[in-house]
Structure 1
C-alpha cells in the first residue's frame, strides 16, 4: 500500500496538458533516457540535463525500444503510431550524436 501523502518526501503534484504530438515526443525521450517518468519530468522542469549516452548500455536500450516497436507493428496497434514514429526519430538522433566508435551499421 502506498504511503500517506504527508509521509512522502515529495508531496506535491504538478499536472499540465500536452498535445498528442508533444506527448509522443516526451514519451519517446523518457523511454530512451532509461529513467523513470517522475525523474525525467523533475529534471526537465528544474532545468537539469537529461542525457541519453551512446555505448553498450545504450545499445541494450535501443534493442529494447526496437523490440517494442516491432511488437506494436506486428499487432497492428495504430493508436500509438505517433509514439512509434517519435521513437524512431529519437533513435536516429541518438545514432547521429553517438561517438564515432559507437555509430551503427551502415549499408
Structure 2
C-alpha cells in the first residue's frame, strides 16, 4: 500500500469513530456542501474555530507538549524543521486562544 501512496500530495490517512446518527448527519452536511468528502473534512477540521478553556488538566497537557517541543528543538535536524515549526505554530495559537479566553 505504501507504494501506491508514494507520489500523492496527501499520503496520510486520518480516521475517527462516530455513531450511526453522527455519521448520517456528517454525510448529510457533505451532500449539502457539494464538496468532495476529503475536502469537506479538511475544511471543517482545519478552519473551524475551537475555543480552549484551560483548566488544570489542559494546562498540564500544554506544559507536557511545550516540554516535548523543547526537547525536539534541542535535537533538531534540517528535515524536521518544517514539521516542528508547524507544531510550534499550532501550540502557540492554542496558548493565545487560552490567553484571550482568560481575559474575557
Structure 1 and Structure 2 fold alike (TM over 0.5): no
Q: TM-score with structure 2 length normalisation?
A: 0.45
Bigger Rg, which one: 2
Counting helix residues as a fraction of each chain, which structure ranks higher?
Answer: 2
